[in-house]
Amino acid sequence: MTITTSALSDRTLVQIASYNTALQGFHGVPQDLVDWLSPTLEVSKFLSREPRAPDIVAVGFQELLPLHQGLAGLSSRVIQDRDALILSQLQAHAPNGEQYSLVAKVVNVGVALLVYALDGGISRHIRDVQTQWTGCGPAFMGNKGAVGVRFRVQAKDGSLGEVYTFVCAHLTPHESKLAARIADYHHIVGSLLFPPLPGSQSEAFTTMYSTSHLFFFGDLNFRLALPPTSSYTGHANVHRVEAALDSLSGRKEIREFDQLLQERRKCTVFQGFREGDFWTFKCSYKFKVGEVDKYSQRRTPAWTDRILYTTYSDSPDTTDETSITNLLYTSIPSYTTSDHKPIVALLLLPPTPDGLLSDTTVPLLSLPANFIPKADPFSWVKKYSGRALDRIIGSVWWLFVFVGAGHAVLGIGNFVLGLGAWAWWKSKPANGSVSV
């Protein structure tokens, strides 16, 4: 695919990257991020003779740090470290020496999102930056959930421009939990709420769908729904799945069992979204830690890590078509510290039609007629009760880990022994007393 330079001048280039680091904290991302975050080195193959840096870079993480630390809210140091590392790598490997600035960062337990914009370009026009989060774990805890960043890019003529919304999520795992994943998604739609749009007369908070461009990505945990009669079904046949994944024709066959693809066709989840050809790369999960290309035998491989998107010029009646050009969609096998592989996409947004932008409204997504996203009136109660539970459980868990020198079970044992010793000491007769 070759697109002329003149056709690029009025089109925004967005790069999205996502990685489940498997609770590795500071060890979850190698120091050299060029393979994952800098596919701009390969952009000339897709765009033109002159490589072009992305206007916007969004980086999402799941399981960013050990769960007890995330629940306890001890994520600031890790996210600051990630920010500094990502920014340095982006600027070191930008094709023409471009510089970037952080637009926003947000983290809830282990789900994190950082968004960057190109200095001297789109960053000068960014306004109304907002961040949000929600949990969809047990009792709305944040071990599963989503974080979001929204901002407006003002038009060059001073009109309101367009609104961008990025959502990074981690949904319920395991093949049998499909209904829970679907429920997670709809909970996120109803509870990841943003302030009213610029120019709106309403004071009501809006869902992620109230935007011009929407990007949703992360460890969505959809698995392969292999029918009982399939030769791929069962633990003994995992090797057959792995063999099929080695060829494009095999992956095309396997993709038909992908739960997310099946559910999107039924319009039960991710209504209005589009996705690139995910089967062009091998399943991103579950790999043996430390291995480049060996799957674990404990799980059937699956495309759990995904990037979906839509824009206001997309028709709600043709969800297999989009005006966004998907230039790149792939995984990075060389990362071996997690049982997931990071994924990355390069998306070229459509040009803005002449006369569309105004001083009073922003262009919004067109959605299927039978889908009306609604804000949950109890979302704030659910969010903050879940967060309170996060902090209580996380703090107690962290204390046990601390007492156990890094091991929660040992910490509980030490705590119980200490409590017993204290009770025994308190029951001793005072010095000089005489038992009768």
Per-residue confidence in pLDDT tens, the chain, 436 aa: 445 444 566 799 999 999 999 977 666 676 567 778 876 655 544 555 567 889 999 999 999 999 989 999 999 889 999 999 899 888 888 888 889 999 999 999 999 999 999 998 999 999 999 999 999 999 999 999 999 999 999 988 888 899 999 999 999 999 999 999 999 999 999 999 999 988 787 888 999 999 999 999 999 999 999 888 888 877 777 888 899 999 999 999 999 999 999 999 999 999 999 999 999 999 999 999 989 999 998 889 999 999 999 999 999 988 889 999 999 999 999 888 899 999 999 999 998 876 677 777 899 999 999 999 999 999 999 999 999 999 999 999 888 887 654 555 544 554 455 455 556 556 656 555 544 4
- Evaluated on CA atoms 18, 308, 132, 195, the torsion sign reads positive
- Residue 247 has a pLDDT of 95
Q: Which of 67, 56, 30 is nearest to 149 (CA)?
A: 56
Domains and CATH numbers, the chain: 5-376 (3.60.10.10), 378-426 (no CATH)
- Give dist(CA 382, CA 135) in Å, integer: 8
- Residue 17 has a pLDDT of 95
- At residue 108, what are phi and psi to the nearest 5 degrees? -135, 110
- Give dist(CA 305, CA 35) in Å, integer: 17
- Residue 30 has a pLDDT of 62
Q: Which of 125, 126, 129 is nearest to 148 (CA)?
A: 129
Question: Tokens 């470290």 sit at which residue?
Answer: 81
Amino acid identity of residue 308, one-letter, is L
Structure-block tokens of residue 108: 């809830």
Mode of pairing for the β-strands spanning 145-153 and 162-170: antiparallel
Q: Is 198 exposed, middle or buried (0-12, 13-18, 19+ CB in 10 A)?
A: middle
Structure-block tokens of residue 208: 């992620």
- Residue 398 has a pLDDT of 85
Q: Which of 338, 393, 391, 384 is nearest to 61 (CA)?
A: 338
Question: How many residues make up the chain in this entry?
Answer: 436
Mode of pairing for the β-strands spanning 343-348 and 13-20: antiparallel
- Give dist(CA 339, CA 62) in Å, integer: 12
* Entry pTM: 0.91
b/e 352-373 (16+ beta carbons within 10 angstroms → b)? beeeebeeeebbebeeeeeeeb
Question: Tokens 């929204």 sit at which residue?
Answer: 150
- Residue 7 has a pLDDT of 54
At 224, is the secondary structure helix, strand, or coil?
Answer: strand
- Residue 202 has a pLDDT of 82
- Residue 355 has a pLDDT of 66
- Residue 243 has a pLDDT of 92
Q: What's the DSSP call for residue 195?
A: P
Q: Is 209 within 8 Å of 223 (Cβ atoms)? A: no
- Residue 118 has a pLDDT of 95
